[in-house]
Amino acid sequence: MAGRLLAAGVASVAVIGLFAALLLVSSPVRRLNVGPNSTSALAWELNRAQGASLWPSWTVVRANSAHHALVVDVEARRVEEAREIAEEIIAPVRNQGYQEILIYIRPVDDPNGAMRRIQWTPRTGYVESAYRALP
């Protein structure tokens, strides 16, 4: 009797595991890893701007908004593409009433490396600033 119960329990766990694996593989939605510093739903939404990619070229790691301003921290493989990255991030939120959006873009593997900042306002558009790496 105990053997049958054990076998039934093992079979149930196997069926549940297979069902979960099937859902994971067949789901068109992929959870993005937005980095260890991010718990923001806003950051998750901004990451969706580049679509589902197995190896995204940039990732929003933190995003905060207050008083009609949005500040976004991004890690990117190619910091020199800052303007293009900013355009992708700003496009879905452009008409949400922000008076200023600041996007800070840093290299993926070097958080103290050279950084770019893109400032966007409805009046001035995009303004890019480059900052050197810390010594």
Mean pLDDT of all residues in 74-83: 91
Q: Answer yes or no: is pLDDT of 62 > 70.
A: yes
With a cut of 60, say whether residue 34 has pLDDT above it: no
CATH number of this structure's domain 41-131: 3.30.300
Q: What is the mean pLDDT of residues 38-57?
A: 71
Higher-confidence residue: 67 or 39? 67
**How would DSSP label each residue in the chain?**
-HHHHHHHHHHHHHHHHHHHHHHHHH-S-------TT---HHHHHHHGGG-S-SS-SEEEEEEEEETTEEEEEEEES-GGGHHHHHHHHHGGGTTS--SEEEEEEEETT-TTS-EEEEEEETTTEEEEEEEPPP-
| Domain residue ranges of the chain, discontinuous segments joined by + | 1-30, 41-131
